[in-house]
Amino acid sequence: MVDEDKNEMVVTPWEVKGRVDYERLIREFGTQPLTEELLQKVAKHTDGLHLQLRRKLFFSHRDLDTVLDLYEKGTKFVLYTGRGPSGPVHIGHLVPWIFTRHLQEKFDTRLYFQMTDDEKFVIDDELELEETRKFAYENALDLIALGFKPENTFIIYDVQDIDLLYDIALEVAKRVTYSTAKATFGFQESTNIGWVFWPAIQAVPCFIHAKLTGENVPALIPAAIDQDPYWRITRDVAAKLGYYKPAQIHCRFLPGLGVGGKMSASEPETSIFTVDPPNVVKRKIWNAFTGGRPTVEEQKKLGGDPSICSVFQYFYFLFEEDDKKLAERELRCRNGEILCGECKIELTERVNKFLSEHQKKREKARNIIDKFHIKR
């Protein structure tokens, strides 16, 4: 029963579970696949394709072609992504941020990053506003640690920055009926009115650049595909307000270390947090679900299955830059030439090396975090 439930795909902004069928999401959400042609168009501006594009971590989009056309004709775009600060950041969260930083660098463009401390408060019965605001600060350290440029990166903390957001949110909210919001997000009679209003707040960073600078340019949103419903509503409203429709580029979810589903902070033993010490990382990876066989003999004889292996996924998403070495690892696994223990040890080393650096940068970020805040 439990396994069956777990395999049924559920993808909403608040819940992702089951084995995710990304082709089906493209069809059901009505987005566009990232074609080779479009990828080549991106590559023209980025000195080759980023790992996350080569490996199809980003797989779907809306209007990316339009944004690139405008860019080539001289109209820049801004990047917009965000984070619901309901707990510490795990490695899965970093995936689209790393790609976003790459885009910022290559297109020399501004990023608006929304910390939705208000959302996490209204949707979670257990969380106090003080907690989500604290997480927003802590999570911002992780973002900054990735090397975003302060002069081009504006972190919006919803509660603290509501003075910048509220007028645009009202303009959006006035144009979204309860009926539309209900159909888009599955709101029910028991949903609280803060949650019902909230999609208007998430829309604001799509349009805030014009307010702050007077430049009306499109926003490009790199984010996991579960956030798509928000942009459907925002896109409908954009034209009425005289703005470009926000474009999007959608990524997959980094699987947790358990079976199926995305890495989730609510299952801490299957998530590697950015603040985890080395021994905790070691334990979590050691207990990870793999595609290996029950015994060494079987593994050597029959080989493993990297396609269901969470450890392999980590190499694939983040920890093996070299496509050739990745392919070798896959082949050696399938041929039974490598055991799960070896992969786990190697992954542990790489993750801990990465986190050791990240944690240092994260602490240094405390000194410069104010530089990433919108000045009044």
Residue 212 as a binder of its own copies (CB under 8 A): the answer is no
Which residues, 179 to 198, sit near its own copies by CB under 8 A? 179, 181-182, 187-197
Residue 199 as a binder of its own copies (CB under 8 A): the answer is yes
Number of residues lying near its own copies (CB under 8 A)? 34
Among residues 47, 151, 163, 321, the one that binds its own copies under rule CB under 8 A: 163
CB atoms inside a 10 Å sphere around CB 143: 27
The amino acid occupying position 59 is F
CB of 140 to its own copies, least distance (A): 19
Phi, psi of 211 (to 5 degrees): -65, -40
Tokens of 241: 């307000």
CB closer to its own copies, 185 vs 372: 185
Residue 236 as a binder of its own copies (CB under 8 A): the answer is no
Residue 286 as a binder of its own copies (CB under 8 A): the answer is no
- The closest of 255, 291, 263, 281 to 349, measured between CA atoms, is 281
Identify the DSSP state of 307.
G
Residue 327 as a binder of its own copies (CB under 8 A): the answer is no
CB of 142 to its own copies, least distance (A): 24
Identify the DSSP state of 191.
S
CB closer to its own copies, 98 vs 173: 173
CB closer to its own copies, 203 vs 251: 203
CB of 90 to its own copies, least distance (A): 26
Q: Which residues are CB-contacts of 140 (< 8 A; sequence separation ≥ 6)?
A: 113, 115, 155, 157, 365, 369, 372
How far from chain centre, in Å, is Cα 177? 28
Which residues, 266 to 285, sit near its own copies by CB under 8 A? none
Residue 129 as a binder of its own copies (CB under 8 A): the answer is yes
CB atoms inside a 10 Å sphere around CB 89: 25
Residue 174 as a binder of its own copies (CB under 8 A): the answer is yes
Identify the DSSP state of 17.
E
CB of 198 to its own copies, least distance (A): 8
Q: Which residues are CB-contacts of 77 (< 8 A; sequence separation ≥ 6)?
A: 67, 70, 71, 107, 109, 217, 218, 219, 220, 247
Q: List the beta bridge partners of residue 340.
A: none
Residue 176 as a binder of its own copies (CB under 8 A): the answer is yes
Question: Which residues are at the interface with its own copies (CB under 8 A)?
Answer: 118, 121-122, 129, 159, 162-163, 166-167, 169-171, 173-179, 181-182, 187-197, 199-200
